[in-house]
Chains A and B, each alone.
Chain A
Amino acid sequence: MALLGLLDREPSHGYDLKRDYDTFFGRGRPLPYGQVYATLARLARDGKAVTGETEPGAGPDRKRYSITESGKDEIETWLSEPVPAEPYLQTDLFVKVVLSLMLDRPAEPYLDAQRAAHLRRMRELTELKQRGDLVDALLADHGLFHIEADLRWIDITEARLTALADEVRS
């Protein structure tokens, strides 16, 4: 969907789309060329994009793609649709705590270690934010807020461990 969105700016070659995707959304995971062209072919097949006249030269980049009205509608809809909220905590985290208590082991050391690991990642993201541009900061913030939510869960779980232990052992 990001590629179709980028195509909504102006007709583009696959190469340009890949470059912009990698710059804004790739974040260290560049999109393989194969995937770019497979996606563009699928968009063309589904009537979301069309290819212009084939330009002289060799290779797949001879084609310039344009978005269609149907493609524009799809982007319009997608941009306004909220993503489903994901209220599910990291399953491993929850299972480790409950199992520890069931097995009569203390859960605090695990929670402390998990807190330290989360904070370590938050420090890395904060450094990235301080060093990088606004796009980096935006992405880092997204990660920071999500990790922070886990941390709050860790704190409140730690405060409730005694009650939780009683419940899972009964």
Chain B
Amino acid sequence: MTIVSASSGVEVGGVILEAQGLVLSFGETPALRGANLSVERGEVLAVMGPSGSGKSTLLYCLAGILVPDAGVVRFDGRRLDDQSEKERSKLRRDRFGFVFQFGQLVPELTAEENVALPLLLGGTPRAEALTVARGWFERLGLEGMECHRTGEMSGGQAQRVALARGLVAQPDVLFADEPTGSLDSLNGEVVMDLLTRAARDQGTTVIIVTHEARVAAYADREVVVRDGLVTSTASATR
């Protein structure tokens, strides 16, 4: 079922990403033991669980970074797990955005160039990409930092730049792995607030891996991964 939101005009509803029976081991160590998950378009989903439960591995399988030993991943109705690395790489560049625990900005580039990176890689002309990138700075409370480099920004500012980079190309899905893990409570709150607002505004589906309940509380729903299985879900109505 596909519904168009009256408030934002973006498509919401309908399954965008699906995992069935995912199994993946690292050597002798099983990380996923038959994980199932279904994510709705436009949904903000928190994936919780203790360290070593397999939650990040699940995220990387859903994002086409890791390929499961068994099981199926479908994105937008199409199998992702049997695609070549080249195809998955293109998919990640064109349709997905990423935010990691440590911003992982390119230190040689300015903040605005970092934000523009996904657009540049996607073939957008430089001037246009930078114009779009600059538009994000005011939105994220980073006015005046456009030409700063990583070393000239605080952890919270760098993470907001990384967030802008993750969302600038208007991806279908934003994957966030412990996006506030390196931040103090207040900066973590700011990042989560901006992340969920911006994603909801543009209809981006978000999957956040976190072990923090306060971060998960920004999501519409959470699932808990335990011993390589998705064990419980609790949904909310927004």
Contacts and interface: CB of A to CB of B under 8 A. Distances in A.
A148 B214 contact: yes
Given A112-B231, A112-B232, A119 B222 contact: yes
Contacts, number: 39
A151 B213 contact: yes
B186 to A, nearest CB: 10
Contact of A159 (B50, B216, B231, B232): B50
B6 interface: no
B4 interface: no
A49 interface: no
A22 to B, nearest CB: 27
A148 B234 contact: no
A116 B232 contact: yes
A119 B232 contact: no
B233 to A, nearest CB: 8
Size range of the chain A interface in the assembly: 10 to 19
Interface in B189-238: 193, 197, 213-214, 216-219, 222, 224, 231-232, 234, 236
Contact of B214 (A112, A115, A120, A122): A122
B234 A120 contact: yes
B50 A120 contact: no
A70 interface: no
Size range of the chain B interface in the assembly: 10 to 19
Given A112-B224, A112-B232, A130-B193, A118 B50 contact: no
B214 A119 contact: no
Contact of B217 (A115, A126, A155, A159): A126
Contacts of B217: 119, 122-123, 125-126, 144
B198 to A, nearest CB: 13
A84 to B, nearest CB: 24
Contacts of A118: 213
Most chain A CB atoms below 10 A, which of B197, B219, B224: B224
Contacts of B234: 115-116, 119-120
A159 B213 CA distance: 17
Nearest to B218: A126
A155 B218 contact: no
Nearest to A147: B213
Contacts of B231: 112
9 contacts: A119-B213, A119-B216, A122-B214, A122-B217, A123-B217, A125-B217, A130-B193, A145-B214, A148-B214
Given A119-B217, A119-B234, A120-B236, 20 more contacts: A112-B231, A115-B224, A116-B232, A116-B234, A119-B216, A119-B222, A120-B234, A122-B213, A122-B216, A122-B217, A123-B217, A123-B219, A123-B236, A126-B214, A130-B193, A144-B214, A147-B213, A148-B213, A148-B214, A159-B50
Interface of A: 112, 115-116, 118-120, 122-123, 125-126, 130, 144-145, 147-148, 151, 155, 159
